[in-house]
Amino acid sequence: MAAFSFHIAARDGAARTGEIRLPRGTIRTPAFMPVGTAATVKAMHTHEVKALGADVLLGNTYHLMLRPGAERVARLGGLHRLMNWPHPILTDSGGFQVMSLAKLRQIDERGVTFQSHIDGARHELTPERAIEIQGLLGSDIQMQLDECVKLPCTDAEAARAMRLSLRWAERCRTAFGDQPGRVEHGRALFGIVQGGANRDLRVESARTLAGMDFEGYSIGGLAVGEPQDVMLAMIDTVMPHLPDGKPHYLMGVGTPDDIVESVRRGVDMFDCVMPTRAGRHGQVFSRFGKINMRNARHADDPRPIDEASPWEPTRTYSRAYLHHLVKSGEILGMMLLTGINLAYYQELMAGLRAAIAAGRLDDFIARTKEGWARGDA
């Protein structure tokens, strides 16, 4: 069976388009991964998510280890079978959730001990256990366990967490090498660059991880409250030190503007809850920018969100009807707006891939931003 591989098809400046090839399917890059935290993309059927253009979903190690449990998922045939998604799945390691549980966890060299947010039960997540869980889930791309710190933070705190994450990366690499099924299923392990907003720490992290020869490299610890210019500066700092022939994944990002600017800098993969969460709360992302469907001005508007969209609900349901659904709290409103948002994100990624292949990325980004600026009036 074919192993994990990454092929760059075209470049435009630092941006690249290509394919991540896995036994369960090919991921076209740059790629946006819808977030399926608890083995579901909220308010969406998996066949709809695929029809939107998604090649890969993200699952969450922390949430799945608590419920339904990694061992149970394995007994039921793995995460792909459980959620009826036969295509690639990437699982994060739980490090970001650990950050958000500051009042419920303790971190030391061995790993993280934390209380479940569900029932208060105590659990331990070590680098070895994080890899074991991801193996039981059967995910195709797995992440090292890391410690993600909130920004802003002191350089001393960023350095401590980054170096602990590097030591955990070595342990994850060893555990992954021993993971049952790793070779026959063509699985991959990505390292995660940390270092806060400190350029020297980011370089140290990237260079050290590059020496460990991961299948791919992620930039973590961003999109945690810092301004966009800080995030982009950290990407610019890190990119020269990551292996060029490996996938580059910016974790937890983000807005359409964050994505296009990061693609311009050589990022290949993204994930974010923003399009699904926004859809459940009445917000739409479109080529006209962000639209608040709760706004009263949509109540009598017969126009669709975008009559030129390739996704049928975007061009067939009126703004008036979507406004009504949102104001009434109807589940259908959440479903439709979530799909409309994910459709736009996938349409944006397809446009970026085509623009890079044609050597016209700057023109595409300029036109895209002009559309956002014009708005939906």
| Active-site residue (options: 12, 92, 258, 376) | 92
Query: What span, in angstroms and rounded, lies between the C-alpha atoms of 80 and 46?
Result: 11
93 assigned binding-site residue: yes
Q: Calculate the CA dihedral of residues 21, 50, 29, 33 and round it to 10 degrees.
A: -110
Query: What span, in angstroms and rounded, lies between the C-alpha atoms of 209 and 192?
Result: 8
Tell me the residue type at 352.
L
Q: How far from 287 is each of 101, 270, 274, 346, 373, CA to CA, in Å?
A: 36, 19, 16, 12, 10
Query: What span, in angstroms and rounded, lies between the C-alpha atoms of 113 and 162?
Result: 18
95 assigned binding-site residue: yes
58, 252 in Cβ contact below 8 A? Answer: no
Tell me the residue type at 58.
L
| Active-site residue (options: 55, 271, 306, 376) | 271
Q: Is 119 a catalytic residue?
A: no
96 assigned binding-site residue: yes
Q: Is 92 a catalytic residue?
A: yes
Residue 248 φ/ψ region, left for φ over 0, alpha for ψ in the -120 to 50 degree band, beta for the rest: beta
115 assigned binding-site residue: no
Just list the catalytic residues: 92, 271
Residue set of the binding site: 92-96, 146, 194, 221
Residue set of the binding site for substrate: 92-96, 146, 194, 221
